[in-house]
Amino acid sequence: MVSGVTPPLSAGKLVVLALLEPWSRSEESHRYKLLVEKENVEHLIQELRRPKYSVYFIYFSNVISKSEIKALAEADEQEVVAEVQEFYGDFIAVNPHLFSLNLQGVARGRSWEPSMLQRCVQGLTSVLLALKKCPMIRYQLSSDMSKRLAESLKGLITKEYELFDFRKTEVPPLLLILDRSDDAITPLLNQWTYQAMVHELLGLNNNRIDLSRVPGIGKELKEVVLSAEHDEFYANNLYLNFGEIGTNIKNLMEDFQKKKPKDQQRLESISDMKAFVDNYPQFKKMSGTVSKHVTVVGELSRLVAERQLMEVSETEQELSCQSDHSNAQQSVRRQLLNPRLSELDCVRLVMLYALRYERHSNSILPGLMEELSRRGVSERHRRMVKAVVEYGGKRVRGSDLIAPSDAVAITKQFFKGLKGVENVYTQHQPLVHDTLDQLIKGRLKDSQFPYLGASTLRDRPQDIIVFMIGGATYEEALSVYNLNRSMPGVRIVLGGSCIHNTKSFLEEVMSSAGQSGERAQTSGRQGNRR
């Protein structure tokens, strides 16, 4: 049979299964869940013209047009379709306040990859309908891509106004569309909270981690699932730093040892056997949880030590949060002389320096590039430095990512420096944190983030959806989580075309550069619909 199936809450690709049985009509019913794409609808039309099942239930993960419904009806000459419904799940619900469209390579230079604009509009439409929100829209003026997405989405909302006829709230919801290029620093930083660290060092792919390359890994642990919905330990440790996770792993192990059946325990009575059977599923589940997290945290520890990431991260934080050029250049040079540093870590330090001090009169960037060459860093990685500056450098940015521009901001930064920081590895605050803080306080400038249309929001926003073109990060998700906790009455949801770690972000940058004339090798421009 030919079957079009996507997992719930995903922008999955059409799965085509080989023809395994003769072309005889089955008395069974068949259910489709389809991503609304022309190719998928065409496959379904062909299926209905020669049906292999007596009844079909069809569920689309987004809005389907009247013309497509008509085409399906005309193909259903044998009247086998019992039901057609729209279930708005054309996105990945990562955390309660975080979603992804699983699309990578959305840009062609400073413009949209045409198919990706349509997919982002579809994905955001699905999110809004799932949340039952018809928002006012603000967008980043310095980004043509933000404006195009805002206009395209508004056009679809206007066209499908009946679907968006939700109960009016006193303060309308707000959609804020941002561009990743306004903050190229955040996705380049090493991370130290559990979820973000796992994604940065191991890769988190639809809640799955590939551990097959871990030395001495057992067969049952080559791929593990980390889901806050089904894993209490993971849910409780998502946003804790690495030191706290180590302590909690130790406590988990000790708790497990206490509950572990003793070897000498005998099942001498029916009640003993019943107690064992009753407790065994819980014990087995706990055993799996312990094995999984001990393995994951153990591998994170190994990589931190092997790549000397604590020293690297300290320099990264210095580059992203401080303004002492003399110390910065000394720190970067010292790190580049360390033979144990990986190629990626060397390059990311030079990228951060380039973004931070690209227009400094005493910039040592040429010397750092020469040092990369002497270390034998590949030409492709060296080209990435220039590509990152072109992608997110000062010429492109619409916001003051690096230096505070007004007296109040400078004073705040000064006193923050006097008070010190709780953790030297997590000083950095992503730009989206300040943007949202200004938005909630009514200080976000209309001149930089205009409303689409004549209406403006007079009251403090209560429901905010932030969408990051070019991908969000788990560090930004942590900022949104903290803002939600610290500001009662405000609900913020963050989304992105994907969720980046450093490697995927650099692929995004090189993909964009390749389309604008750079001879960059990329991993392809197709959306990563995992």
Averaged over 250-265, what is the pLDDT?
70
Token duo for residue 176: 């804020």
Residue 422 or 292, more confident: 292
Averaged over 152-163, what is the pLDDT?
93
Integer CA distances (angstroms), 272 to 224, 418, 518, in order: 33, 63, 71
Token duo for residue 490: 């405000």
* pLDDT reported for residue 260: 66
Averaged over 127-140, what is the pLDDT?
96
* pLDDT reported for residue 253: 81
Token duo for residue 391: 């992608």
Partners of residue 174 on adjacent β-strands? 136, 464
Fold of 92-183+430-515: Rossmann fold (3.40.50)
**Of 448, 503, 510, 434, which Cα lies nearest the Cα of 473?**
503
* Cβ count near 386 (within 10 Å): 17
Token duo for residue 258: 């206490």
pLDDT digits (tens, 9 = 90+) for 48-104: 999 988 898 888 888 888 888 999 999 999 999 999 888 898 999 999 999 999 999
Q: How far is Cα 499 from Cα 51, in angstroms, rounded to an integer?
A: 39
Question: What pTM value is reported for the model?
Answer: 0.84
* pLDDT reported for residue 261: 61
Averaged over 233-237, what is the pLDDT?
95
Does position 15 have pLDDT exceeding 60, yes or no? no
* pLDDT reported for residue 289: 84
Does position 367 have pLDDT exceeding 90, yes or no? yes
Reported confidence tier of residue 208, pLDDT bands at 50, 70, 90: very high
* pLDDT reported for residue 97: 96
| Winning range, highest mean pLDDT, from 272-281, 290-299, 456-465, 471-480 | 471-480
* pLDDT reported for residue 237: 95
* pLDDT reported for residue 264: 43
Reported confidence tier of residue 257, pLDDT bands at 50, 70, 90: confident
* Cβ count near 237 (within 10 Å): 21
pLDDT digits (tens, 9 = 90+) for 325-361: 999 999 999 999 999 999 999 999 999 999 999 889 9
Reported confidence tier of residue 501, pLDDT bands at 50, 70, 90: very high
Does position 400 have pLDDT exceeding 90, yes or no? no
- Alpha helices per DSSP H over 23-140: 38-49, 66-75, 114-131
Show me where the domains of the chain are located.
1-89, 92-183+430-515, 194-262+269-306, 310-401
Q: Is 371 exposed, middle or buried (0-12, 13-18, 19+ CB in 10 A)?
A: middle
Q: How far is Cα 178 from Cα 432, in angstroms, rounded to an integer?
A: 9
Window from 282-286, 311-315, 394-398 with minimum mean pLDDT? 282-286
* pLDDT reported for residue 525: 35
Q: What percent of the chain has pLDDT over 70?
A: 81
Q: How far is Cα 23 from Cα 42, in angstroms, rounded to an integer?
A: 19
Q: How far is Cα 58 from Cα 71, in angstroms, rounded to an integer?
A: 14
What angle (nearest 5°) sits at the alpha carbon of residue 57, between those of residues 63 and 159? 15
Reported confidence tier of residue 8, pLDDT bands at 50, 70, 90: very low
**Of 527, 530, 508, 432, which Cα lies nearest the Cα of 109?**
508
Does position 498 have pLDDT exceeding 90, yes or no? yes
Reported confidence tier of residue 246, pLDDT bands at 50, 70, 90: confident
Does position 442 have pLDDT exceeding 70, yes or no? yes
Amino acid present at 188: L
Q: Report the 3 state secondary structure along 328-367.
A: HHHHHHHHHCCCCCCHHHHHHHHHHHHHHCCCCCCCCHHH
Q: How far is Cα 52 from Cα 39, in angstroms, rounded to an integer?
A: 20
* 92-183+430-515 and 194-262+269-306 in the same fold: no
- Second CATH level (architecture) for the domain 194-262+269-306: Alpha-Beta Complex (3.90)
Reported confidence tier of residue 22, pLDDT bands at 50, 70, 90: very low
Reported confidence tier of residue 517, pLDDT bands at 50, 70, 90: very low
Token duo for residue 374: 């002497």
Q: How far is Cα 119 from Cα 102, in angstroms, rounded to an integer?
A: 10
**Of 504, 398, 390, which Cα lies nearest the Cα of 100?**
504
* pLDDT reported for residue 410: 40
* pLDDT reported for residue 456: 82
Give the mean pLDDT of the chain.
Answer: 84
The answer to whether 92 and 493 have CB atoms below 8 angstroms apart is no
- Strands 111-112 and 107-108, by their bridges, are antiparallel
Does position 494 have pLDDT exceeding 70, yes or no? yes
* pLDDT reported for residue 268: 62
Does position 492 have pLDDT exceeding 50, yes or no? yes
Q: How far is Cα 210 from Cα 495, in angstroms, rounded to an integer?
A: 24
* pLDDT reported for residue 446: 94
* pLDDT reported for residue 181: 96
Residue 11 or 427, more confident: 427
- State the sign of the Cα–Cα–Cα–Cα dihedral 487, 488, 489, 494: positive
Element housing 84 (H / E): strand 81-86
Does position 519 have pLDDT exceeding 80, yes or no? no
Does position 231 have pLDDT exceeding 50, yes or no? yes
* pLDDT reported for residue 38: 76
* pLDDT reported for residue 402: 61
Reported confidence tier of residue 420, pLDDT bands at 50, 70, 90: very low
Window from 158-167, 280-289, 515-524 with minimum mean pLDDT? 515-524
